Amino acid sequence: MPDTHAALRNNVHLLGELLGNTIKEHMGEQFLDKVELIRQLAKASRAGSKAGQEALLTELKGLTDDELLPVTRAFNQFLNLANIAEQYHTISKHSQQCPLELNPIAELLDQLLARQFSADAIIENLSKLKIELVLTAHPTEITRRTLIKKYEEIANCLYVKDHHYLSGAEEEQLIHRLQQLVSQAWHTNEIREERPTPVDEARWGFSTIEYSLWYAIPRFLRQLNQQLKLRIKRGLPIDISPVRFASWMGGDRDGNPNVTAAVTHQVLMLSRWMAADLYLRDMDTLIGELSMNECSQRLLKEVGNQSEPYRVLLKKLQAQLRATRDWAESAAHTYIEPTKEVLLFKEDLLAPLQLCYQSLQDCGMHVIADGPLLDTLYRAHCFGLNLIKLDIRQDSSRHGDVMAELTNYLELGDYQTWSEEQKQAFLLRELASKRPLLPNQWQPSAEVKEVIDTCRVLSRHEPHAIGSYIISMAKQPSDVLAVILLLKECGVQHRVPVVPLFETLNDLANADDVIKNLLGVSWYRDYIQGSQEVMIGYSDSAKDAGTLMASWAQYQAQEKLVEVCAEVGVKLTLFHGRGGSIGRGGGPAHAAILSQPPGSIGERMRITEQGEMIRFKFGLPNVAVRSLALYTNAALEAKLIPPPVPKDSWREMMNSLTETSLEAYRGVVKENTDFVPYFRAATPEQELAKLPLGSRPAKRKTSGGLESLRAIPWIFAWTQNRLMLPSWLGSGEALQQALDNKQETLIRDMMAEWPFFRARVNMLEMVLAKTDLSLAAYYEQRLVPEPLQALGAELRHRLANTVEVVRYLKKVHELLSDEPWIQQSIALRNPYTDPLNVLQAELLFRLRHDAENIKPFIPQALMVTIAGIAAGMRNTG
């Protein structure tokens, strides 16, 4: 068999060698030798050498204070460089994991044709498909934007090395450039000195579009069109873009006091500024290229008798875009009414571009029409004038507080004490009323004023700038009606999709009743115009009930919601709030989409892309093209070739499995009094709060305990000590009980025939492959008080049993034996991640036991270990 990953290892070796050169130059050869010794000992320890393990611990414990930070930085930097090489390899010409010639769209088209789908049916379904990827700034992106840019250029250099014929001098120059970039990264602080603001996070999201998606979208659409023409002899209309984008950055205020109405307005204006600026760059190109004088009568009528009509029209558009950019900049902090030159509607941008395109086509200049002008048209249809739609998210209790304060002021009673029927009657009466509800002389509290100010900000922006209004912890129809009333009273004249988010186990179970009751309100049915969006929460349900029970609750909730909406003829859009980690609904997006209930993937779906996963999936244009193709492939396949309806025996088994898993999970997490003290001792949970990752606090309530801890630091903390408990606890116990009850045949039937169940087992296997019993035990030995250590032994025993049952079900001696790409990826990182785990435990011990005498670089070194382990763990980080 050919070695398909030799090129990857060569790139990893090259980058590692360049990092070694940098370290040697900066720290000396003796220090570099020490780093290499630690790496070799880590490899020996990983291979099972007891002597190697003991020598590794001795070497790491013997590091001087001056050596601690540089050593942690060396291993962290290597892991980041390995990630770059691997990310690039997935789209390189050497990769057989996802080679470019095996386009996922091409594979699906062949499959559809084999199933006798007509060209008309394929085009129709593709044209109606609307996948909206919602970028969120959840604090799992630990890498600074400054470093991300350097890493992107390193990947570009690897591309040039692979795809261009280089002379000896040119190759030497390229290697020198790589050396410069690696050295720049080494001499740059990995850890932010200050926590980013919500506006910083939004800018980071815009930069993903600016440097990657702006180029990826036209490439993706060209490839899609090419495959359609090749296989079904039909092209996709140029105004169709199956994938579009929204954002929570600057709009997600749930538990984040730093996201205010002023911030939301500023982010909306910055988004318009960035869009105008990007289109202006396109205008420079188009004006330079479209110098021809032959044009259609329509274009001639528009510009008059001009020798270069295309340039005349585009220069006018250029002036309008400049006016738009200037207005967006000046109105970023205080709203200013736009002048008549400012472009406000997407159609005003598209019209001149389409006129130029059609004129070139009419005059036989097809090759010119399908050049950069087509790319700009593709971008305009995808990004519009606002670049990216902004969602708003707020907790349902905040809207209830507004209504309560208002009704008390109006002497109507206390809204919070009313029954659901009373609340609905009041809200519907006010929604139908033509008089204002908010009195001018009313002076609400600061918290209530903030909610109202946010709604007023939305009234000042065009409909195409606003995505959905998400209600966290939605529990009743009144939660939705209250938001619609607030939007109306604050001057929002267009219909904003108001989306209930069902997160906890109980809320998921009741989701269909809430939507059924909501759709039973005739006023509301008229308001939604036949379309209902519902968000399914993955993170909090998994934290509440464990991943196995949560995933089954999410599946059943979707089934019931599909049924409820179908009964009344309403189109359902499901919004999947998936995280990057397995414990938060993450994992391969393609498999996740195809494992959803039949009928749940309709013409439109929304999915969150969070934190570091945005960079991994969309950070490089070619990687982004493939990610977009995979999403389109999965959504179209799920719609046209839906998975099987679960058999009754499968449902009964899932009910049994999840009851067992829930009991096991909650028995540990919620009923064992030692659990919370153990969690806080064995992981860096408390120290994570000091790491300036994102703008949002680690807890919803600063005074709250474990129950108020957000799902992200909950997962993140367990990832650091390699126990990864939230992703597997309960699953192994459930599967083992099924085997003990002689139901192996049924379990294997479900694995073979049911994509939902197969995806659960496969993702469980992947996360188990990244756990490490010995490292988890080492954290416990160094950090956990002896009375609590019995719980740690029990957890490791459960983990070991879970590994064994998954190995048995997958019929493998080693986890991921049938996924050599992922297996090799993990093996590549372990010798660099393992020393960081040992160092982190040591640093935590010093910080907790000798805080008064700790030198300033010790906390910094701890932060670097956190960053490095996150880089090493990838999608569980």
Question: Is the pLDDT score of 290 beyond 80?
Answer: yes
**Per-residue confidence (pLDDT) for residue 665, from 0 to 100:** 96
Quick check: is 138 catalytic? yes
Question: Is the pLDDT score of 700 beyond 80?
Answer: no
Bigger pLDDT: 144 vs 685: 685
Contact 554/850 with Cβ under 8 angstroms? no
Contact 390/466 with Cβ under 8 angstroms? yes
Total of domains in the chain: 1
In angstroms, the CA 193 to CA 196 distance is 9
Contact 717/684 with Cβ under 8 angstroms? yes
DSSP designation for 709: B
CB count, 10 Å around CB of 641? Answer: 14
Q: Is 673 a domain residue?
A: yes
Domain residue limits at 825: 32-60+647-876
Question: Is the pLDDT score of 191 beyond 70?
Answer: yes
In angstroms, the CA 128 to CA 373 distance is 24
Catalytic residue (one of 89, 138, 576, 639): 138
| Token pair of 565 as six digits | 């909406």
Q: Is 682 a domain residue?
A: yes
| Token pair of 164 as six digits | 């261009």
With a threshold of 0.75, does the pTM exceed it? yes
Among the listed ranges 109-118, 496-505, 578-587, 717-726, which one has the minimum average pLDDT value? 578-587
Q: What is the pLDDT confidence band of residue 716, given thresholds at 50, 70 and 90?
A: confident
Contact 227/123 with Cβ under 8 angstroms? no
In angstroms, the CA 737 to CA 661 distance is 10
What is the gyration radius of the CA atoms in the chain, in angstroms? 28
Q: Is 197 a domain residue?
A: no
- 172: Cβ contacts below 8 Å, ≥ 6 apart: none
Catalytic residue (one of 543, 560, 639, 770): 543
**Per-residue confidence (pLDDT) for residue 851, from 0 to 100:** 73
pLDDT digits (tens, 9 = 90+) for 217-243: 999 999 999 999 999 999 999 999 999
Bigger pLDDT: 650 vs 538: 650
Q: Tell me the C-alpha to C-alpha distance, in Å, between residue 186 and each of 22, 23, 66, 182, 649.
A: 7, 8, 17, 6, 57
Q: Is 387 a domain residue?
A: no
In angstroms, the CA 26 to CA 71 distance is 13
**Per-residue confidence (pLDDT) for residue 100, from 0 to 100:** 37
Helices (H), 233-333: 261-289, 297-303, 309-330
Beta strands 243-247 and 389-395 are parallel
pLDDT digits (tens, 9 = 90+) for 96-150: 544 334 478 888 999 999 999 999 999 999 999 999 999 997 544 556 778 888 9
Amino acid residing at 23: I
Q: What is the pLDDT confidence band of residue 190, given thresholds at 50, 70 and 90?
A: confident
Bigger pLDDT: 702 vs 66: 66
In angstroms, the CA 569 to CA 639 distance is 18
Beta strands 243-247 and 466-472 are unpaired
For the chain, the distance separating the N- and C-terminal CA atoms, rounded to the nearest angstrom, is 33
Question: Is the pLDDT score of 199 beyond 80?
Answer: yes
Percent of the chain whose predicted confidence (pLDDT) is above 90: 74
Quick check: is 34 catalytic? no
Q: What is the pLDDT confidence band of residue 382, given thresholds at 50, 70 and 90?
A: very high
Hey, what long-range contacts does 509-512 have (CB within 8 A, 24 or more apart)? 509/553, 509/556, 509/557, 510/475, 511/536, 511/557, 511/560, 511/561, 512/557, 512/560, 512/561, 512/563, 512/564
Contact 683/190 with Cβ under 8 angstroms? no
In angstroms, the CA 766 to CA 659 distance is 23
Q: Is 697 a domain residue?
A: yes
Contact 815/768 with Cβ under 8 angstroms? yes
Contact 783/845 with Cβ under 8 angstroms? yes
Beta strands 389-395 and 466-472 are parallel
In angstroms, the CA 255 to CA 266 distance is 20
- Overall average pLDDT of the 297-306 stretch: 94
Percent of the chain whose predicted confidence (pLDDT) is above 70: 94
Phi first, then psi: give them for residue 394, nearest 5 degrees: -150, 150
Q: What is the pLDDT confidence band of residue 195, given thresholds at 50, 70 and 90?
A: confident
**Per-residue confidence (pLDDT) for residue 95, from 0 to 100:** 60
Question: Is the pLDDT score of 876 beyond 70?
Answer: no
Q: Is 49 a domain residue?
A: yes
DSSP designation for 104: H
Greatest Cα pair distance, the chain, in angstroms, is: 90
| Token pair of 864 as six digits | 């670097």
Q: Is 443 a domain residue?
A: no
- Overall average pLDDT of the 154-176 stretch: 89
pLDDT digits (tens, 9 = 90+) for 421-458: 999 999 999 999 999 999 999 999 999 999 999 999 99
Q: Is 140 a domain residue?
A: no
